[in-house]
Amino acid sequence: MDLQGAGAIVTGGSSGLGEATVRAFAAKGAKVAILDLAKSNGAAIAKEVNGTFIEADVTNSDQLFAAIDKATQTLGAAHILVNCAGIATAGKTLGKGEAPLDLEPFRRTIEINLIGTFNAIRLAAAKMAKNAPNAGGERGVIINTASVAAFEGQIGQAAYSASKGGVVGITLPIARDLASYGIRVCTIAPGIFETPMLMGLPEAARQSLGAQVPFPSRLGRPAEYAQLACHIVENAMLNGETIRLDGAIRMQPR
- Which tens digits make up the pLDDT trace of 109-166? 999 999 999 999 999 999 999 999 999 999 999 999 999 999 999 999 999 999 999 9
Cα-Cα-Cα-Cα dihedral of 132, 20, 108, 54, to 10°?
A: -60
pLDDT for 254 equals 84
Cα dist. 236→1, 136, 218, 240 in Å?
7, 8, 30, 11
Cβ(175)–Cβ(133) under 8 Å? no
Cβ(124)–Cβ(56) under 8 Å? no
Low-confidence ranges of the chain (pLDDT < 70): 200-201
CATH class label, 7-245 = alpha beta
CA distance 26 to 52: 11
147 three-class SS? coil
pLDDT for 241 equals 98
Cα-Cα-Cα-Cα dihedral of 88, 192, 58, 6, to 10°?
A: 170
Q: Any catalytic annotation for residue 181?
A: no
CA distance 164 to 151: 9
Strand order in the sheet with 183-190: 52-55, 31-36, 7-11, 80-83, 140-145, 183-190, 242-245
What does pTM read for this prediction?
0.96
CA distance 111 to 165: 13
Closest CA to 86 of 12, 144, 197: 12
Cβ(121)–Cβ(144) under 8 Å? yes
CA distance 59 to 252: 31
Cα dist. 207→177, 192, 194, 198 in Å?
42, 11, 11, 11
pLDDT for 165 equals 98
Q: How many other C-beta atoms lie within 10 A of the C-beta of residue 192?
A: 20
245 three-class SS? strand
pLDDT for 201 equals 67
Helix (H) or strand (E) holding 80: strand 80-83
Query: Annotated catalytic residue: which of 25, 53, 106, 160?
Result: 160
